[in-house]
Chains A and B, each alone.
Chain A
Amino acid sequence: MSGPRPPRIATALLRLLLPRSEREFLLGDLEERWRERIEGREEASSGAAGRARLWYYGQVLRSMGHALRLRRESRGLALGDAGSLKPSWNPLRDAGQDLHFALRSFRARPGFALTAVLLIGLGIGATVSIFSVVDAIVLRPLPYPDPDRLVFFDKRPHSFPDFAEWRENLTSVSAIGALTNAEGSVSGDQGPEHVWITHVTVDFLPMLGGVPHLGRLFNDEDHQRGSSVVVLGHGYWQQSWGSDPGVVGRQIQLDSRAAEVVGVLSPGYTPPQAVTASSQVDVWVLLDESGDTYDNRNYRTFGVVARLGDGVSMEAAQSEVDALTAALAQEFPDFFTRADGSMISFPLVPLQEATVRRVSGTLFLVLGAVGLMLLIACANVANLFLARGTARTGEIALRGALGAGRGRIARQLLTESGAIALVGGGLGVFLAYLGVEFFIGYVPSDLPLLARVSVDQRILLFALAASVGTGVLCGVFPVFQALRRSVTRDLRETTANATTGQDRRRVRSGLVVTELALTVVLLTGAGLLFRSLVERLQVDPGFRTDELVIVPLDVASAYTSEDRAHFVRDLRERIEGIPGTQSAAAGWTLPFALPPRTCCWASRVLPEGWTGDTNVPATYIHPVTPGYFETLGNQMVYGREFLEADVEADDAPQVVIVNARTARRLFGTEDAVGRRLVIGTMDPFEVVGVERGVHHWRLEEEVDEAVYLPYGRYGSGFAMLHVMVRSDIPLQTLAPRLRNVVRELDPDMATDQIMSMEQLVTRSLAGPRFLSVLFGVFAGLALLLASGGIYASMLYTVGQRRREMGIRLALGADARRVTGMVLRDGATLTVLGLTLGVGGAMALSRLMGSLLWGVSTTDALTYTSVCILLGAAALAACWLPARRATRSDLVETLKVE
């Protein structure tokens, strides 16, 4: 019979509880009665349906206890008092009782409950915060339709002709798009503004689910237009255009050229961060696909993403790509085979993996660390529960004697620990909201997908699971204790004349040792990371990083190469004219100015007339102006810098500067001035200078080979330019003057990104620094928790053994010996904990090997420092209670007995 059906979940619940013999009949009766309520009405009003639902729920709730009784009865057990229909087993009622009892006992000892809740709140708060991050970045699928069908052409940026081959020939992909990143400026009323630009092919945005918020996205006709066609990013449109809907259809000045805005992207769109440099794209520009760069197979700056066709596996697509590569290798052997004859390959990688692989290992490591901290907090709380359990032994025994089954008592204890854990979990969730805000604010911004980190339903579910797990973990020890003890023995003992409670103490000691061991692991991790940071900072970058100011410029594509060369020359002159500046120079890129190897020109460099093996890795080529090395503060080892004369005359000899490493490889000596070399397929160059060696990308990497060419001839073809100025004037004063100079030469050029070299170097260390701080915080908290745990445990033991110590003192024992006894116990635990911890740390630190630099995972200095630090803290935590043990009021205790 079709039509409405009774509420399914409630029915299922009741069905679960009912015994098989009655199930069908009772549910049938219930449904019949329900139907009467629905169909009895002439007017099918939703009010009736709603009331019937409510009635149904009520029936289910009230019949649950009966269902359980029927179940028990059908197994042949007693039904309870004849004539009384009150069910003898109602789980809801029992749970309510347990809770009531638990709350009463907490009110009696609020200190305990508060401490436990705080500890758990802290642990869960930290864990949930980190889990939010891990979930948003690594676990959740990418924010695109069918994200598991998206693949990324891995390994290197690609050339446009390669992309065009794929677009034309691949049938296993239903869509494919290319992009390349750039920076530029948009000229508005407030002057030029720096923007992040991404150039894309026509179907790139729709392939990744982009939809227009206003206007439209790109279409094929746009290729025919005269000017560039752009789509604005939503955030940029809000900030810089004040959400003005009139911007659609308008012409804007992008890099001094006219560009027409055809639409604005919707707010939720996230650019694929496997491929885009920044997490925000301000302006999307349609690639016009005409011009030299689009024919040049050597010019590799494009990232390529594709969507697999329906039912096509990645292996199939990969085979097709490989087959295509083989065919192309026949046609263009130079581009598709390496010097040793092997074919280059284009591996396909799922976009999700490409996006997060850089950070997923680190994030999981941080999650592991925070998990350890939670365990330490749990151990502390478990200890608290055990200590409290001892105090309640008598009470629990009494309940046992009065008929409460052991299972019931265990349930009671679990309810208590569960209640504490859930309240602590609630506090933790609140702290997690704060923690996530803090995290987003301080983490280095190159973390992909950072914008979607938030505490949402999934996270709350995780927090609930963590709380329940914590509750069980903390409650399990007292529960075991309760289930094992003999009632009569407990009734005879009181707290005062209790024996030391050997097994309970052993468990508590075990917990303390565990805490110590886990703390050692965390401290070691933090220590190793910290040392890595310090080691990095001590690396000599190869130049003077102080008093150096960097001005990144985008010298618009409207300039010709010659214009640019002139512009740069004029700029240098004017800047050097500013009083207080010592020198100025420029290059296509500067050390630390860009993320490693995101741009750049690399070619094979060989000595002239080389006849040996030509299979050498490519060397990076840096176009620079005269005065580059002087401004950097880097010495030339041999020879000279570039001069204007080197580029002025058309027939001036081709000159080059190399760094020491390159010179050694090419010529076997650093004294290479006068020697000649060949770059790629160009005519030979003469070496006029050798520089010492500069770290271009990151401090922790070795100095690469490098080759420098005069900017005037070889750099002016590119829009990107970095100017550096050496001056002892502080940045705040110098920056406006530099801006003025630039504005004099070109009012449309954006200059909002001026910073000092020291800032750049610091920024390159932002990741390691943040990680170090994070681990430091966890380790510090763990140290506090562990010390607190030992302190409390020792205090408690001393309290337990008062009588014993009082006797000793009364018998004339030296107070110091009694203290010594306590300290010895504490020291034993500490040594045990440290040993286990060091072992564990050595094993686990291998997991963070990739994050360390300059320090091994078994670095003696770190391990020793950690042991000393923790040992001292632990002993201090023991010493205080030990002192209390000898106070004279102990003797009084004896008299009281």
Chain B
Amino acid sequence: MHKTLGDFEVLILLALVRLKKEAYGAAVHREIEERTGRSIAIGAVYTGLARLERSGYVSAEIGEPTPERGGRRKKFYHLEAAGASALARSLTAHRSMVEGIETELDLMAAGGGEGGGS
């Protein structure tokens, strides 16, 4: 039985899918913040990625330094096969829970919260 992904870890993996080859710490951080509207600690991204790496869901590769980073290198993360299937399982589970109640969920999102990007 594989371990289930936590909510934040799912977001990280989704960001990795979106960013494809350009998935490094700051990019993931930016992507999650801009899309979910949450304020995330950069450290949290790192601990999340570290755990995912330990579980074998992602792998890392070191890149080139750039001046915007004070001359520091970037660490790029790639989704591994195990990670992809874990993500798929998670999303499937999600979807099946959402199935059939989409309208009510939309009503809740429109009335209750202000939606994303607040």
Contacts and interface: CB of A to CB of B under 8 A. Distances in A.
Nearest to B55: A82
Contacts of B75: 25
Interface centre among A29, A31, A63, A82 (most CB of B within 10 A): A29
A25 B44 CA distance: 14
A22 B46 contact: yes
Interface in A4-56: 5-6, 22, 24-33, 35-36
A457 to B, nearest CB: 33
Contacts of B67: 1
Contacts of A36: 30
A804 B3 CA distance: 63
A27 B6 contact: no
A35 B26 CA distance: 11
B51 interface: yes
A181 B41 CA distance: 70
Interface string B8-33: 11000000000000001110011000
A59 B68 contact: no
B94 interface: no
A83 B5 contact: yes
A31 B6 CA distance: 28
Interface residues of A, number: 32
Contacts of B84: none
Contact of B44 (A6, A35, A79, A85): A85
Contact of A33 (B5, B29, B44, B65): B29
B43 interface: yes
Given A29-B29, A79-B54, A85 B47 contact: yes
Contacts of B70: 1, 5-6, 27-28, 31
A508 interface: no
Interface in A52-68: 59, 62-67
A701 interface: no
B72 A28 contact: yes
Given A33-B26, A83-B5, A70 B42 contact: no
A615 interface: no
Contact of A62 (B3, B6, B43): B43
Interface string B74-106: 110000000000000000000000000000000
Given A35-B68, A83-B4, A85-B6, A28 B26 contact: yes
Contact of B68 (A27, A31, A87): A31
A73 interface: yes
B74 A28 contact: yes
B29 to A, nearest CB: 6
A35 B66 CA distance: 12
A67 B70 CA distance: 20
Contacts of A622: none
A69 B73 CA distance: 22
A85 B69 contact: no
A84 interface: yes
Nearest to B75: A25
Interface string A752-777: 00000000000000000000000000
Nearest to B33: A33
Nearest to A5: B70
The binding surface of chain A is classed by DSSP as helix
B43 A66 contact: yes
Given A31-B70, A79-B54, A26 B6 contact: no
User: Which of B43, B44, B65, B70 has the most chain A CB atoms closer than 10 A to its own CB?
Assistant: B43
B50 A70 contact: yes
B30 to A, nearest CB: 7
A25 B25 contact: yes
A31 B74 CA distance: 12
Given A79-B50, A79-B54, A85-B48, A29 B43 contact: no
B69 A67 contact: no
B55 to A, nearest CB: 8
Nearest to A25: B75
Nearest to A55: B39
B34 to A, nearest CB: 11
Contacts of A28: 25-26, 65, 69-70, 72-74
Given A82-B3, A84-B6, A66 B44 contact: yes
Given A62-B41, A64-B43, A31 B51 contact: no
B47 A70 contact: yes
Contact of A63 (B9, B30, B42): B42
Contact of A29 (B6, B24, B47, B48): B24
Nearest to A30: B42
Contacts of B44: 62-63, 66, 85
B26 A70 contact: no
A65 B73 contact: no
B101 to A, nearest CB: 24
Contact of B42 (A1, A33, A69, A84): A33
Contacts of B30: 33, 36
Nearest to B6: A83
A22 B47 CA distance: 10
B103 to A, nearest CB: 30
A36 B33 CA distance: 14
A66 B70 CA distance: 22
A36 B27 CA distance: 12
A29 B25 contact: yes
B13 to A, nearest CB: 13
Nearest to B28: A29
B27 to A, nearest CB: 8
Contacts of A27: 69-70, 72
Contacts of B25: 25-26, 28-29
Contacts of B48: 85
B72 A24 contact: yes
Contacts of B9: 83
Nearest to B70: A31
Contacts of A22: 46, 50
Contacts of B71: 1
A299 B71 CA distance: 73
A25 B43 contact: no
Nearest to B7: A83
Contacts of A5: 70
Contacts of B72: 24-25, 27-28, 31
Candidate in B24, B30, B46, B51 with the most chain A CB atoms within 10 angstroms: B46
A33 B27 CA distance: 9
Contacts of A62: 41, 43-44
Contacts of A73: 47, 50, 54
A69 B43 CA distance: 10
Contact of A66 (B3, B46, B73): B46
B68 A69 contact: no
Contacts of B66: 32
A64 B43 CA distance: 7
A63 B67 CA distance: 23
Nearest to B51: A79
B75 to A, nearest CB: 4
Interface in A73-106: 73, 79, 82-85, 87
Given A28-B69, A66-B46, A82-B6, 4 more contacts: A6-B70, A35-B68, A62-B43, A85-B47
15 contacts: A5-B70, A22-B50, A24-B73, A28-B65, A29-B24, A29-B26, A30-B26, A32-B68, A33-B26, A33-B42, A35-B68, A63-B44, A64-B43, A70-B47, A82-B3
CB-CB nearest 9 A-B residue pairs = A63-B43, A66-B43, A28-B72, A28-B69, A29-B25, A62-B41, A29-B26, A83-B6, A1-B67
